[in-house]
Amino acid sequence: LTCRELQNLIDSYLDGELDLMRNLEIEQHVQDCPHCNRLYQNHRALKTAFRNEALYFAPPLDLQKRVQTALRQANQPVRAVKSFSPRWVLAAAVLTLLIIGSSLALALNRTDTSAEALLTQEVIASHVRSLMVDHLMDVVSTDQHTVKPWFNSKLDFAPPVVNLADQGFPLVGGRLDYLDNRTVAALIYQKDKHFINVFIWPATNENNSNPKIITSQGYNLRYWSKSGMVWWTVSDVNNDELNQFVKLLQAQT
Ligand SMILES: [Zn+2]
């Protein structure tokens, strides 16, 4: 991958539009090339800034009233000018409001969806990287009483750590990872020869949510909120096994 190619791809990368191999090439290049690393940091910062909710605003409360007043005023001379019937002016105004309303809704909705899509790409990339470059675990232990204090010394939050060995999903270790612009806890569980990565970080609100199901690039993912934490899990185990795993995990956390 050349620097020029990277520059052309960087926005698509941050929008989560590229395939897995392209993503990995870009991550590798950004690690090796200080110039592109700076470019990447800049674009990433810009994207984060645009995701800020403060940039979105609700239409002012008196907008409707102002439109109605403007319509009434417009109607006065309109009666004299036959070519503009008040009904058409009203219809045009309603149409304009509808277009404004639906594009606002679309913009807000798209922000949500692209944040999820971006995080999905990040989670899959972390999972694949953890299996590829021999960086699956920082702390290798099947004992949650070893893994938990290890995290507590490295993070500013305490991720719940449970072992599900008795239920067929032994805990094999933990590591630190970086997702959604922050350091997160990654727990690794095993199912036969497959690994399941579980990423945990503090939620911004206390609302619990049911697991959302995502399948992407051959991986199964679930994410939910519980106990003040955001949980993302990813694996190549099948859907039934992942559902079972998530149910067991949720029962104990
Ligand atoms: Zn470069």
Report CA(154)–ligand 1 centroid distance (Å): 32
Q: Is the dihedral of CA 33, 155, 220, 211 positive or negative?
A: negative
Tell me the per-residue pLDDT of 166-179, one tens digit each, with 9 for 90 and over.
Answer: 999 999 888 888 88
pLDDT, position 110: 57
Mean of the per-residue pLDDT values of the chain: 84
Q: In terms of DSSP bridges, do strands 194-202 and 139-140 run parallel, antiparallel, or are they unpaired?
A: unpaired
Report CA(53)–ligand 1 centroid distance (Å): 32
Report CA(246)–ligand 1 centroid distance (Å): 40
Dist. CA 181–CA 30, nearest whole Å: 16
Report CA(34)–ligand 1 centroid distance (Å): 7
Report CA(110)–ligand 1 centroid distance (Å): 31
Report CA(22)–ligand 1 centroid distance (Å): 14
Report CA(19)–ligand 1 centroid distance (Å): 19
Instruction: With cut-offs at 50, 70 and 90, classify the pLDDT of residue 20.
Output: confident
Report CA(129)–ligand 1 centroid distance (Å): 20
Report CA(40)–ligand 1 centroid distance (Å): 10
Instruction: With cut-offs at 50, 70 and 90, classify the pLDDT of residue 125.
Output: confident
Q: Minimal CA–CA distance to 186: which of 220, 150, 215, 240?
A: 150
Alpha-carbon dihedral 167, 155, 233, 107, rounded to 10 degrees? 150
The predicted model gives 134-162 an average pLDDT of: 83
Q: What is the pTM of this model?
A: 0.57
Dist. CA 208–CA 227, nearest whole Å: 7
pLDDT, position 53: 59
pLDDT, position 228: 92
- Which residue spans within the chain are E strands per DSSP? 139-140, 171-179, 182-191, 194-202, 209-216, 219-226, 229-235
Report CA(36)–ligand 1 centroid distance (Å): 4
Report CA(35)–ligand 1 centroid distance (Å): 6
Report CA(30)–ligand 1 centroid distance (Å): 7
For the chain, state the CA radius of gyration. Answer: 25
pLDDT, position 74: 75
Report CA(220)–ligand 1 centroid distance (Å): 32
Taking ligand 1, which is a single-atom ion, which protein residues have CB atoms under 5 Å away? 3, 33, 36
Whether residue 109 is predicted with pLDDT greater than 90 in this model: the reply is no
Tell me the per-residue pLDDT of 35-90, one tens digit each, with 9 for 90 and over.
Answer: 999 889 888 887 777 766 556 666 777 777 888 888 887 776 545 555 556 677 77
